[in-house]
Structure 1
Amino acid sequence: MNTRFILFIAALILANACSRPGAKKQAANVKANAETPAANTATLPSTDTAITIAAVGDIMLGSSYPDSTFLPSDSAKASFKFALKHLKKADITFGNLEGVLLDTGAPVGYKLRFKHKGYLFRMPVKYGGIFKDAGFNVLSVGNNHSNDFDRAGRRSTIKTLDSLGIHTAGFKSHPTKSFTKNGVKYGFCAFSPNGQTVSLLQIAHAKSIISSLKANNDIVIVSFHGGGEGADYEHVPDSAEIFKGENRGNLRAFTHAAVDAGADVLLGNGPHVSRGIELYKNRVIAYSLGNFVTYKGVSVSGVCGLAPLLKIRINKKGEFLNGQIASYRQNHQTGLLPDSLNRAAQRIKALTEADFIQPGLSISATGAITPTAKN
């Protein structure tokens, strides 16, 4: 049998095979499956849709008033270097800007009564970029140092932060801020008992502001600057706090009213020490996140040197899911450093357990936060 005849028979067999009933359909199915790999791929886990928030307390990177003595030698460039892994990975990164961003200018008159001029906080305008580079996208100016340099300081601060895309609120002239990120609409407002800021003491007015924000946004974040200052003021009383003759607010009444009005996350600052954390109607309330980076001018001795970084996850309804306290310490020589002993977390755990009969959450020795019951 010659070779040509063998090849001819093989061709006939192949042609018959390809023309069998259903063969074309089978081939088409094979092609379709090749073009749609999802049909043969296991279902992937759904993407985490939780909102992540990183929050710290007071931040003040030094003061150029009255001279450069109160400015860090590296122009504050390394201020947040050990915390960047947390600050830059959150959807919202918050801090309380204790002071103003202003290059020149005299303090407001009544502030000159301070014997220690280093208590007047005027950060160079270029320092705004340090906050931006560290990941901060929401800063409160509702505090007792945001008016240290009068209108010039307030205007320069707002102008600088606006130019950097950092959302801010707290001045009477700028009481709220609304913005959208990753499809989520946020409303932000900030309160304090101090002049030129939105009052912490007028609770009915605060509720009106918050409810208006909630009507137009998915998540409402509230900053509040209140309470006494220093190591004697770690606890949250169930009454108004009077510090040096000044009413610093009833923070339990304020925060609960804020949640009732629509607030989803409440972040406290001002006492320069950490305070406990509470869940109220499944909304997280951090009563004070203490100092975080405060170069000179602010005492960081003892418990004032504890520097917590609070990380929380909430759903798109604003309900708390879980969280973590990352512990740091700071001093005026070495700045902010990680604390492997978790002292900030352990202090907040102890204060939470001491101050709230049913805080609605549990904090582990390493700072993990989990809800314990709906409240």
Structure 2
Amino acid sequence: MDGDLYDDGGHPTQDGGFDTVGSIATNVEDGFTMVAVGDLLFARPVTKGYHPGFADVLGIFHEADVTFGNLETNILDVRSKGCPQAEYGGAYCISAPELGPDLKAMGFNMVSRANNHTLDWGREGMQETSRALDENGIIHAGAGENLAQAGAARFLETSRGRVALVSFAATFCPMARACDPAGEAPGRPGLNALRLIKNIVVPREMLEQLKRIGEVLPGFKPAGQDPNRVVLEEATYKTGDHAGYSFEADPRDVAGILRNVRRGKQFSDFCIVTNHGHEPGEWSQEPPDYEQSFARRLIDAGADAYVVHGPHLLRGIEIYKGRPIFYSLGNFFCQDLRTPVGADMFDEYSKDPRVHTDAEVTVDEVAKGYPTAEGLVGPQSDAIYYESVVSVSRFEQNQLVELRLYPIELGRSKRFANRGVPRLAPATQAVTILERLQKLSKPFGTQIAIENGVGLIRLRPSSER
């Protein structure tokens, strides 16, 4: 048989149609609609609050079969559960217990859990978050009591078909990675991880200089016999035409993820796969170099949509075999007001919890006066981190026929306590957001039209081409 029709596990891909167990073909009713957004960074309920324009955003969700977002927080009452984790993941993301019902009221029915904040509040925080979601009928994937649970597909029943969700994270704290039992050692709770080897790419002459530096350092060991690579102080350097970063995915994690995607599709009609990854950095509007080929392998294994979140800004969109690939959907919520934040975060910003408040940890009130958008500190204070889209994918004949992109803005100019809740972007800002997305998607061969302030990607089912 033609080897190109099979994935790494020896099972036919979507091109081949069937595997040895059952079909991995998509099987939803016409009109199946998936709404997907990026990171849900919010700390307190919003559906009953005063947030002008938010209801208009939620109106987009009404006819969707699936409404997905990445839950980048923990839902718990810290007075009785959890404590700040020893590993500091950049912030201690925590939300009030009322967020479970709030997510349900908004219309979310599927969320990913694998991200660099999964264990911000320890195992108890992870478990309490699972309980809050379960009690409100929200399907979640990507975290569990061991790797088998964290990596497994979770399923949502809809009137147009059964939907699977497989979630993993490329950006995470090392001890947050879930493990299976080994011998007498029990499994470790945590998230479904995709480990990456990061290479720093430098010109040849710089690599030779690094070799010479290494040779004078105690304990230096050349990187095997590879003349194009140097490992120095746990950093790996290799030669290339342009300086930058290159990533290699761990083949063991890749194999496990592909298997879970294949299994998820075998037991469902539609499969969503999501990745939380900051690589190559939150400054980059382009995905890391490993991701396009990996995204395509996921779709070949049965994924119907691949959604990336984590960079907190928009990246391009690709359509591959009639399936959407979102290289980052940015933020849907970005509430900066979090409490409590944990002692390590005070240390990170050189603050004293006996003097400063939780809010003053993330706002440079000394330099800027009263907390405003300009008072934010850190790498995510620019306007592009407060601009995103709500994506609405509609399928006919089991193929994507229309993708609508509704630009949103998260109130960056609002008072600190009110910032971070989305509304539909005003006309001029909406066009600016969509034009940026057009530019970012062009390298993937994706054309986005702009009609009445909404981005549109239209395709025809393959049978009509």
The two structures have a TM-score, normalised by structure 1, of 0.73
Shift of 1:197: 1.6
CA separation in 2, counterparts of 1:76 and 1:144?
29
Asked whether the 8 Å contact 1:229–1:270 carries over to 2, the reply is no
Q: Residue type of the partner of 1:87?
A: F
Asked whether the 8 Å contact 1:200–1:254 carries over to 2, the reply is no
**Corresponding residue for 1:236?**
287
Asked whether the 8 Å contact 1:53–1:90 carries over to 2, the reply is yes
Shift of 1:230: 6.2
Q: Which of 192, 198, 204 is the aligned partner of 1:198?
A: 192
3-state SS in 2 of match to 1:273: coil
For structure 2, the 5+ residue unaligned runs are: 1-28, 178-189, 196-252, 338-377
CA separation in 2, counterparts of 1:267 and 1:329?
20
Matched, 1:312 2:393: yes
Q: Residue type of the partner of 2:75?
A: L
Matched, 1:52 2:141: no
Q: Which of 84, 91, 99 is the aligned partner of 1:107?
A: 84
Matches within 5 A, 1:53-202: 53-62=34-43, 77-78=49-50, 80-104=54-78, 105-111=82-88, 119-171=91-143, 172=147, 173-175=149-151, 176-193=153-170, 194=172, 195=177, 196-201=190-195, 202=253
**Corresponding residue for 1:326?**
406
CA separation in 2, counterparts of 1:106 and 1:136?
27
Distance verdict in 2 for CA 1:257–1:268, change over 3 Å: same
**Corresponding residue for 2:433?**
344
Q: Residue type of the partner of 2:423?
A: L
**Corresponding residue for 1:224?**
275
Q: Residue type of the partner of 1:323?
A: L
Q: How many residues are paired up?
A: 299
**Corresponding residue for 2:261?**
210
Shift of 1:284: 0.7
The runs of at least 4 consecutive aligned structure 1 residues that moved more than 6 Å come to: 372-375
The two structures have a TM-score, normalised by structure 2, of 0.60
3-state SS in 2 of match to 1:233: coil
Shift of 1:304: 0.9
Q: CA RMSD in A?
A: 2.5
Distance verdict in 2 for CA 1:224–1:156, change over 3 Å: same
CA separation in 2, counterparts of 1:169 and 1:135?
17
Shift of 1:316: 5.8
Report the structure number with the largest CA radius of gyration: 1
Asked whether the 8 Å contact 2:279–2:287 carries over to 1, the reply is no
**Corresponding residue for 1:38?**
none
Asked whether the 8 Å contact 2:168–2:193 carries over to 1, the reply is yes
Shift of 1:372: 8.0
**Corresponding residue for 1:7?**
none
Matched, 1:258 2:298: yes
State the percentage of identical aligned residues.
26
Q: Residue type of the partner of 2:299?
A: V
Q: Residue type of the partner of 2:118?
A: S
CA separation in 2, counterparts of 1:160 and 1:305?
27
- Structure whose residues are more often helix by fraction: 1
Distance verdict in 2 for CA 1:49–1:344, change over 3 Å: same
Q: Residue type of the partner of 1:189?
A: V
3-state SS in 2 of match to 1:288: coil
Q: Residue type of the partner of 2:92?
A: L
